[in-house]
Amino acid sequence: MEIDPFIFRLSIFILSIFVGYYVVWSVTPSLHTPLMSVTNAISSVIIVGAIIAALSGSSFNIFETSNIFGFLAIILAAVNIFGGFLVTQRMLQMYKKKKK
């Protein structure tokens, strides 16, 4: 009997929740703000879906409604990707150890 691919994806999902659980508990509380901004940046990997949506259909008619939603999603996700990673980087640069 064949296993539905959905089950495989569900397995990845559930295992990732466990990975996330242990990884996030090991994050030091002083970095909780960068944690939020970086999780925000990586969740913008949703841009993958936005690109597929924007480029769907024939290349001569790329401004159907569904493509337009794709393009809008690309802008939103791109703001997040660049904004999220850069602001995280900016914050992390500030964390310094005592000068001995």
- Give residues 56-75 in contact with another protein (rule: CB under 8 A): 56-57, 59-60, 62, 64-67, 69-75
Q: Does 7 bind another protein (CB under 8 A)?
A: no
Residue closer to another protein, measured from CB, 1 or 13? 13
* 2 contributes a contact to another protein by CB under 8 A: no
* Rounded CA separation 91/35 (Å): 11
Contact between 21 and another protein by CB under 8 A: the answer reads yes
Contact between 87 and 40 under an 8 Å Cβ cutoff? The reply is no
Min dist. Cβ of residue 28 to another protein (A): 6
DSSP H helix total and E strand total for the chain: 4, 0
